A and B are shown apart, each in its own frame.
Chain A
Amino acid sequence: MIKAIGDWFNGIPEWLHRMFPAHTGAVGWAFILGSVLLCIVLFFLAQQLRPAGRKAIIVTVTFLSGLFYVLEFYVPAKIVNGQEENFLTPFLPVVSDLAQIVAAFALGLGIYSLVTLHGKKVAKGSQGWFYSLVFFISLIAMTFMGIWNWLPVHKDIKVNNNIHDILYLGGLNGLEGTMFSVIAFYIASAAYRAFRIRNAEASLLMGAAFIVMMGQVYAGQWLTHWLPTEGLLANARVETMSDWLLTRVNAPAVRAIGFGLGVGLLATALRIWLSLERGSYFDREV
């Protein structure tokens, strides 16, 4: 009896794949559009529910999602086709698909939020409206060229590829790189202002930072390159001292912080899973 139930259960993922095979072309697009419409309808239906009703759904889905992974991890496994699995393991790809679909909704939410914010600025002509307009132009241009270039009929057209490359490699790549490289200037200025030998702790921190920074570049390593690479004196080489600080001082400290974070995360995860968490996004409207 138990074996029959187990076999039936294990057959569900295969049944799901049989019932909903992957489609391409027009049928695939029809399924995508149908899914989007269904999600919109479900979204508006959920909006019609009272807060208590919505909360009940959220609590149930959260608990079942967490329960799946807890049971899949703890239920004893047997070897099937050379791999360990229990009755829940075949569902992992299915649940992973669901998680990816839910996660992808964050993209829509992010775009909605940005469009609302910048749309208001452009409509009202408030301060910085021009930058909001740049946002719309960039969003539309990148989205359009991204999808246009991705379509199989346009994939190998050189003009499309060139426009995409100008936007992506010539535009976004340079802009992001520039933004990140500006940090070097801020770090130089901040390090100059922050590292002062005001007390013993600050002096210790500065000394450690000094050695680690020197150990990261050849200019620093060159200072002690004349020392032997083996033996007692090798310990005085800048790169050896830097490595010691990173592996013997930094790593245990990070590990200790990690343990603390881990325990905190476990407690938070339990509270979220069992819907005990309170505050914004949980029991209060934001």
Chain B
Amino acid sequence: MLAFFGRLQSIDRRVIYLVMFVAAAISLIVPVTLPVIPSNQALNAFEAIEKAPTDKYALIGADWSNSTRAENGAQTYALMHHLMRRHIKFAIVGFDVQGPPNVEQIVKELAPKYGYEYGRDWVDWGFHPYNAIKATLKAMVRDMPGSMKHDINNTDLTDTVKLPIMAGLKNMDQVGLIVEITPADTYESWVAFVQGYGGGKPMVHAPTAVMAPEAYQFLDSGQMVGMLTGLKGAIEYEGMVKQPGRATKQALALSVAHVLILLLIVLGNLGYIAQKRKPQTRLEDQP
């Protein structure tokens, strides 16, 4: 018996991969919707967008690439549903080259439903080099058309005929909400150079689950008002805005994968304990 348990701590990694693959695949196919218990961070994020003034603008930090689409893409869908439902006008800016086109794709998908029109209700300022994020954000705070220069279609941001939204969006005075969606540390620059403007703007952060623990300190300090933690945050937010989508469909797979990892840890430790209890063969007894 002890020998059997002892073997549990050396399961072949290929077996683990196969079990994980089968478990995740079946969970994604089975149409089961799990109940959602929203976290305080997600509730606060919802509250912040719910309270954001509609006569002011939101800034969307689109700093994610396709590699984290499963988490950041799902978060973007849920957040955009809420922003557009409340008809808050917004500008997109990104320091990851894939960020703005990814968010733009989602916005264009949702725009017809909420009657959003490019140039009037939203604008995409496009990609700016990450290496210059601090200088760019510092300049953007006080002069948006001057520092961002043009939109993704190369339209000058001072051209308020083509981009009527820019007639009212000049600097941070007109911004009532910041939403930063990122798997990286770009949120630190947003906190340092943008959030604190004018006594502090409400900032909602949507990181990947692995990056979330680093951001909790900004929730404590009040520099961030809410946070969507990875896919779990997206699931919670889809539930709150009553728009169950991709994230909700993946809730079962997320649960199963977590439980499987925990089960593997338990099995590994059972094996470890069993091996410790197994009588060790003394050197002098060996042939």
Chain A residues in contact with chain B, CB under 8 A?
22, 24, 69, 82-83, 85, 89, 92-93, 95-97, 99-100, 102-104, 106-107, 168-169, 172-173, 176-177, 179-181, 184-185, 187-189, 191-193, 195-198, 206, 210, 213-214, 216-221, 225, 239, 243, 246-247, 250-252, 254-255, 258
**Bound complex: CA A185 to CA B40 (Å):** 30
| Contact between chains at B142 and A89 (CB < 8 Å) | yes
26 contacts between A and B (CB under 8 A): A22-B150, A83-B173, A89-B142, A92-B143, A92-B147, A93-B143, A95-B139, A97-B149, A99-B136, A100-B136, A102-B132, A103-B132, A169-B105, A173-B66, A188-B17, A188-B264, A192-B261, A195-B265, A197-B272, A206-B265, A210-B265, A217-B232, A217-B258, A219-B34, A219-B256, A220-B255
- A107: min CB distance to chain B, Å: 8
Say yes or no for B114: interface residue by CB 8 A criterion: no
Contact call B129/A179, Cβ cutoff below 8 A: no
| A105 CB, nearest partner CB in chain B, Å | 9
Q: Using a CB-CB cutoff of 8 Å, which residues 216-258 of chain B contact chain A? A: 216-217, 219-220, 229, 232, 251, 254-258
- Indicate if the CB atoms of A177 and B132 lie closer than 8 Å: no
Do A246 and B258 touch across chains, with their CB atoms under 8 A apart? no
Tell whether, in the assembled complex, residue B70 and residue A177 are in contact, meaning their CB atoms are under 8 Å apart: yes
Nearest CB in chain B: distance from A173 CB, A: 4
Instruction: Label chain A's interface by main secondary structure.
Output: helix
Using Cβ atoms and an 8 Å threshold, which residues of chain A touch B11?
A: 192
- Contact: B268 with A193, CB < 8 Å? yes
A254–B216 Cα gap in the complex (Å)? 8
Q: Which of A22, A185, A213 contacts B156 (CB 8 A)?
A: A22
B262 touches A210 (CB 8 A): yes
Complex CA distance for A206 and B273, rounded to whole angstroms: 15
Q: Is the CB of A22 within 8 A of B16?
A: no
Contact of A179 among B67, B143, B251 (CB under 8 A): B67
B14-39 contacts to A (CB < 8 Å): 16-17, 20-21, 24, 34-37, 39
Chain B: CB-nearest residue to A246: B216
Q: Is the CB of B138 within 8 A of A92?
A: yes
Other contacts beyond A206-B269, A225-B37: 6, CB < 8 A = A102-B132, A176-B67, A192-B268, A217-B251, A220-B258, A251-B220
Kindly identify which residue among B24, B39, B140 contacts A184, using a CB–CB cutoff of 8 Å. B24
Bound-state Cα–Cα, A173 to B34, Å: 28
Which residues of chain A come closer than 8 Å to B259, judged between CB atoms?
A: 217, 219-220
The reply to whether A195 and B254 form a contact with Cβ atoms under 8 Å apart is no
B287: interface (CB < 8 Å): no
Task: List chain A residues, Cβ under 8 A from B20.
Answer: 184-185, 188
Closest beta carbon of chain B to A246's beta carbon, Å: 6
Give the residues in chain A near B257, CB-CB below 8 Å: 184, 188
Name the contact of A181 in the complex, choosing from B65, B70, B131, B255 (C-beta under 8 A): B70
B142 in contact with A85 (CB, 8 Å): yes
Nearest chain A CB to B144 CB, angstrom units: 10
Q: Are A250 and B213 in contact (CB under 8 A)?
A: yes
A207 to B69, CA, bound (A): 30
Q: Which of A24, A195, A218 contacts B269 (CB 8 A)?
A: A195
List of A residues within 8 angstroms of B219 by Cβ? 247, 251
**By the criterion CB–CB under 8 Å, are B135 and A239 in contact?**
no
Contact partners of B256 in chain A: CB under 8 A: 219
* Bound Cα distance from A251 to B227, whole angstroms: 14
Partner of B139, one of A92, A172, A217: A92
- The answer to whether A247 touches B147, judged by C-beta atoms less than 8 angstroms apart, is no
Q: Which residue of A lies closest to B97 (CB)?
A: A107
Assess the A251–B36 pair: CB atoms within 8 A.
no
Q: How far is the CB of A110 from chain B (nearest CB, A)?
A: 11
Smallest CB–CB gap between A265 and chain B, Å? 11
Among A85, A107, A189, max chain B CB count under 10 A is at A189
CA distance A247 to B221 in the complex (A): 11
Contact status A195-B268, CB under 8 Å: yes
Please name all residues of chain A whose beta carbon is closer than 8 Å to the beta carbon of B232 when the two chains form the complex. Answer: 216-217
Select from chain A the residue with minimum beta-carbon distance to B13: A189
User: In the complex, are the beta carbons of B69 and A173 less than 8 A apart?
Assistant: yes
Residues facing A in B200-217 (CB within 8 A) are 209, 212-214, 216-217
Could you say which residues of chain B place their CB within 8 Å of the CB of A177? 66-67, 69-70
Distance in angstroms from A35 CB to nearest chain B CB is: 15
Contacts of A246 in B (CB 8 A): 212-213, 216
CB pair B132 A218 closer than 8 Å: no
Q: How long is the Cα–Cα vector from A198 to B268 in the complex, in angstroms?
A: 12
Q: Is the CB of A188 within 8 A of B261?
A: yes
In the A-B complex, the 5 residue pairs with the closest CB atoms: A103-B131, A96-B139, A103-B129, A99-B135, A219-B255
Looking at the assembled complex, report how far the CB atom of A26 sits from the nearest CB atom of chain B, in whole angstroms.
Answer: 14
Q: Mark B132-175, 1 if CB is under 8 A from A, else 0.
A: 10011011101100110110001010000000000000010100
B272 touches A196 (CB 8 A): yes
CB neighbours of B217 from chain A (8 A): 251-252, 254-255, 258
The answer to whether B269 touches A196 (Cβ under 8 A) is: yes
CA distance A249 to B147 in the complex (A): 40
Contacts of A189 in B (CB 8 A): 13, 16-17
A242 nearest CB across to chain B (Å): 9
Report the separation of the CA atoms of residues A6 and B134 in the bound assembly, to the nearest whole angstrom.
26
